[in-house]
C-alpha cells in the first residue's frame, strides 16, 4: 500500500433514508426501499412516477436545494472538526451533475419573475460559492462534472490537492437534488424502472432515481494523526478512465471501467486479490450491470467469483452526481463495521459465478481494502480504493 494515504476523518450524508450517516447505514443493513411517488414536481403523464426523495426539511442555500443538501451533509461531517485548520487551507471540491436546471426552467416559464441572478445560479459554480460561504471556507474550490461519477472524481481530485500541498483539508462533496429536468431525461431515455430498481437481478428493467448529498473530509494521514482527528478510513487509490464508446451506453466489454479499476489498484499499490469487497455502481439498467460485471471479471481476474459485490442504489436510489460520495461513505462504513450490506431487491442473480453478489442478508467481511466504482454518461469511469483505518 502507498505510504502517503489520504485519511477520511469525517463523513456526512443526507439521503432518502434520512439525515445522517447513521440513517444511511441502518437503512442499508435493513434493505429499506424508500421509493414513493415524486412530490417535488408533477409527474402526470410519466410512465414511471417514483423516486427516493429526501423528506426532511432542506433549507435552500442561495436558493438552491442541491446546495442545501450539501450543507446539511457537510455540517454533519465537520461539526467540531475543522477548528484547528485555517479556513484558507480548507479546499472544497464539489461533484454535481444536474444542479442549476430548476432555475433555468423558472426563467423559461416566467422570465420576468425569475430570480435576479438566475443565470448565475444556473452555473454550477454557484453551488461551490454558496457552500463555501455558508461554511466559511476560504481555500481553493472547484466544481467537477463527470455525470454520475462526478463526486467520485471530486474525491480523487481532493486527494490530489492534498498531496500537492494546495491545502491542509478538503471537503469533497457530492450533491444533486431530484429535478424535473434530469428525471424526465432518464424517463425519455426509458432508463427508469417502473418498480423499485433491482440491480444485478435477471428481471431488472432500469434505475430508480434518488437525491442526496454526501461529504467526506479528507486530510493527509500524517496531519490527521498529528491533530488527533478520528480516522474513519483511508483513500489509497484513485483511477479514472473513459470508455470512448458511446454518449450513454457503457462499453459492453467493460474495458473502460476495468481500466479505471486497474488504475486505482495500481495507484494504491495493491493487487486485485487484496480487495475485500466491491461497492458497485449497480444502477439496475440491463446494459450497465452487464458491462460492470464484465469489468470486474476483467480487473479482478481469478479473484472476481469470490469477491463480494453489492450496490446501494436499490436503497438510496441513483443519486446522480452525489452517487460517488454516498457510495464512498457506504464503503467506509462497511469497512468499519466489517459487514457488506445486501443489495436490496436482488432475488435472481444473473451474474452468479462471475462475481459474488451479496443478496438476502448482510455479509460479514473483515476486509482491509474495498473498491467503490462509479460510471457516468460520456463513458466517464472512476474507481476509488479505500482501506480500513
Q: With binding defined as CB under 8 A, does residue 189 bind another protein?
A: yes
H/E segment holding residue 384? strand 380-388
Q: Are 53 and 16 in contact (CB under 8 A)?
A: yes
Span 141-180, contacts to another protein by CB under 8 A? 141-147, 153, 157, 160, 163-166, 180
CB neighbours of 68 closer than 8 A, spacing ≥ 6? Answer: 58, 59, 60, 61
Please identify which residue in 188, 347, 352, 368 interacts with another protein, judged by CB under 8 A: 188
- Sketch the per residue contact string, 15 through 54, with another protein: x for CB under 8 A, - otherwise: ----------------------------xxxx--------
Task: Kindly report the length of the chain.
Answer: 389
Nearer to another protein, 263 or 359 (CB): 263
C-alpha cell at 23: 440513517
- Options 125-133, 283-291, 301-309, 358-366: segment touching another protein (CB under 8 A): 125-133
Q: With binding defined as CB under 8 A, does residue 379 bind another protein?
A: yes
Please identify which residue in 71, 169, 378, 383 interacts with another protein, judged by CB under 8 A: 378
Q: With binding defined as CB under 8 A, does residue 337 bind another protein?
A: no
Q: With binding defined as CB under 8 A, does residue 136 bind another protein?
A: no
Q: With binding defined as CB under 8 A, does residue 324 bind another protein?
A: no
Cα–Cα dist 128/39, whole Å: 26
| Number of residues this chain uses to bind another protein (CB under 8 A) | 72
Cα–Cα dist 81/381, whole Å: 32
- Options 8-16, 122-130, 284-292, 298-306: segment touching another protein (CB under 8 A): 122-130
Question: Residue 19's closest CA among 78, 75, 66?
Answer: 75
Cα–Cα dist 50/66, whole Å: 19
- Estimate to the nearest angstrom the gap between the alpha carbon of 185 and the chain centroid: 20
Span 190-209, contacts to another protein by CB under 8 A? 190
Question: Residue 148's closest CA among 58, 21, 248, 215?
Answer: 248
Please identify which residue in 74, 240, 314, 326 interacts with another protein, judged by CB under 8 A: 240
Q: With binding defined as CB under 8 A, does residue 272 bind another protein?
A: no
CB of 62 vs another protein, minimal distance in Å:
11
Longest dimension (CA), the chain: 62
Nearer to another protein, 105 or 223 (CB): 105
Nearer to another protein, 153 or 299 (CB): 153
Nearer to another protein, 189 or 347 (CB): 189
Question: Residue 258's closest CA among 273, 238, 243?
Answer: 243
Q: With binding defined as CB under 8 A, does residue 241 bind another protein?
A: yes
Task: Indicate the SS3 state at residue 90.
Answer: strand
Q: Strand 233-242 relative to strand 6-15: parallel, antiparallel, unpaired?
A: antiparallel
Q: With binding defined as CB under 8 A, does residue 253 bind another protein?
A: no
Torsion sign over Cα 124, 126, 132, 138: positive
Nearer to another protein, 20 or 256 (CB): 256
- Sketch the per residue contact string, 75 through 94, with another protein: x for CB under 8 A, - otherwise: -------------x------
- In 2-111, where do the E strands start and end? 6-15, 18-19, 36-37, 50-51, 90-95
CB of 136 vs another protein, minimal distance in Å:
11
DSSP assigned state of 248: S
Amino acid at each position: 500500500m502507498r505510504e502517503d494515504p489520504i485519511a477520511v476523518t469525517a463523513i456526512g450524508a443526507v439521503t432518502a433514508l434520512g439525515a445522517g450517516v447513521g440513517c444511511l447505514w441502518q437503512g442499508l443493513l435493513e434493505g429499506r426501499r424508500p421509493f414513493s411517488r415524486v412530490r417535488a414536481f408533477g409527474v402526470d403523464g410519466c410512465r414511471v412516477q417514483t423516486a427516493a426523495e429526501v423528506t426532511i426539511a432542506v433549507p435552500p442555500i442561495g436558493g438552491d436545494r442541491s446546495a442545501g443538501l450539501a450543507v446539511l451533509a457537510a455540517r454533519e461531517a465537520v461539526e467540531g472538526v475543522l477548528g484547528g485548520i485555517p479556513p484558507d487551507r480548507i479546499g472544497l471540491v464539489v461533484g454535481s451533475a444536474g444542479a442549476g436546471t430548476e432555475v433555468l426552467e423558472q426563467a423559461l416559464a416566467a422570465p420576468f419573475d425569475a430570480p435576479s441572478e438566475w443565470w448565475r445560479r444556473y452555473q454550477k459554480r454557484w453551488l461551490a460559492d454558496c457552500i463555501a460561504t455558508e461554511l466559511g471556507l476560504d481555500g481553493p474550490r472547484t466544481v467537477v462534472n463527470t455525470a454520475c461519477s462526478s463526486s467520485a472524481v471530486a474525491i480523487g481530485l481532493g486527494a490530489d490537492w492534498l498531496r500537492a500541498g494546495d491545502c491542509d483539508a478538503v471537503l469533497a462533496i457530492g450533491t444533486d437534488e431530484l429535478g424535473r429536468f434530469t428525471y424526465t431525461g432518464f424517463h425519455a431515455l426509458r432508463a427508469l424502472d417502473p418498480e423499485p430498481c433491482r440491480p444485478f437481478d435477471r428481471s431488472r428493467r432500469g434505475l430508480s432515481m434518488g437525491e442526496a448529498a454526501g461529504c467526506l473530509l479528507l486530510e493527509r494521514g500524517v496531519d490527521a494523526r498529528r491533530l488527533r482527528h478520528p480516522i474513519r478510513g483511508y483513500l489509497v487509490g484513485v483511477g479514472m478512465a473513459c470508455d470512448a464508446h458511446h454518449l450513454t451506453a457503457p462499453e459492453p466489454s467493460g474495458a473502460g471501467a476495468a481500466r479505471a479499476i486497474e488504475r486505482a489498484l495500481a495507484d494504491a499499490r495493491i493487487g486485485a486479490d487484496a480487495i475485500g469487497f466491491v461497492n458497485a455502481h449497480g444502477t439496475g439498467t440491463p446494459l450497465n450491470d452487464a458491462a460492470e460485471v464484465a469489468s470486474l471479471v476483467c480487473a479482478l481476474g481469478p479473484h472476481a467469483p469470490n469477491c463480494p459485490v453489492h450496490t446501494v442504489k436499490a436503497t438510496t436510489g441513483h443519486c446522480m452526481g452525489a452517487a460517488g460520495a454516498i457510495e464512498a461513505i457506504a464503503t467506509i462504513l462497511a469497512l468499519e463495521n466489517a459487514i457488506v450490506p445486501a443489495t436490496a431487491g436482488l432475488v435472481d442473480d444473473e451474474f452468479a459465478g462471475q462475481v459474488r453478489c451479496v443478496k438476502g442478508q448482510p455479509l460479514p467481511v473483515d476486509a482491509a481494502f474495498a473498491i467503490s466504482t462509479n460510471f457516468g454518461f460520456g463513458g466517464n469511469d472512476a474507481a476509488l480504493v479505500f482501506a480500513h483505518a
